Amino acid sequence: MEKGIGRKIDKRRKYDQILVDVARVTRVVAGGRRFRFRATMVIGDRKGKVGMGVAKGADVTSAISKAVKKAEKQMFRVSIIAGTIPHEVNLHYSGATVFLKPASPGTGIIAGGGVRAVVELSGIKNILSKMLGSSNKINNVRATILALRSLKTPDEIAKMRGKNVSELSPFVRVEKKKNIRPNLKGKKGTKDKKNKVSGEKDKNSN
């Protein structure tokens, strides 16, 4: 069985693509064994939409093409706030367990393999992740996809907690500009104090 992982970015296409896994599979038929290829693709626009597809073909090219078409049909919108996810999520799928946690600006994407492919193409900029259990790339990608699908939108969370969207995460802060006026009284007082001290010195000298 042959496996590989890499990137496939076609400027003519609407979405960026990452080839997560390609493997040669065997099927036993009446006439003997039949060899085909299976490709696992993740696509996204890096602006909140992502999807995955798994397909088989007589060669690698046809398998990738079919997988991309399936991924386009299964694309969905990811809930993203301030470049990260709105809340923590843990999800178990077929022996694979994925943990996703929001991260502050500048953290980057702390993930690898299929998890990183999904998170990166979805448009998330900062996130912490951990994968336990199965090392199967397809299961890891599907677990990540399901975890992102289970995220609630910022509006839904705000409604549940009775807060504004800006109050949901410590990474979302509304800064108010303050009018800073010069402390004229302080400066004037300092000047008067200096004059008073100098006057006392003159008296003492006389």
For 115-132, letters b (16+ CB in 10 Å) and e give bbbbbbbbbbbbbbbebe
Query: In this predicted structure, what is the pLDDT of residue 154?
Result: 75
pLDDT, tens only, 110-134 = 998 899 999 999 999 999 999 999 9
200 — pLDDT class (breaks 50, 70, 90): low
**Domains of the chain with bracketed CATH:** 6-167 (3.30.230.10)
Q: 148 with 127: CB under 8 angstroms? A: no
Q: How far apart are alpha carbons 154 and 80 in whole angstroms?
A: 8
Which SS3 state, helix, strand or coil, does residue 57 take? Answer: strand
**pLDDT score at 82:** 87
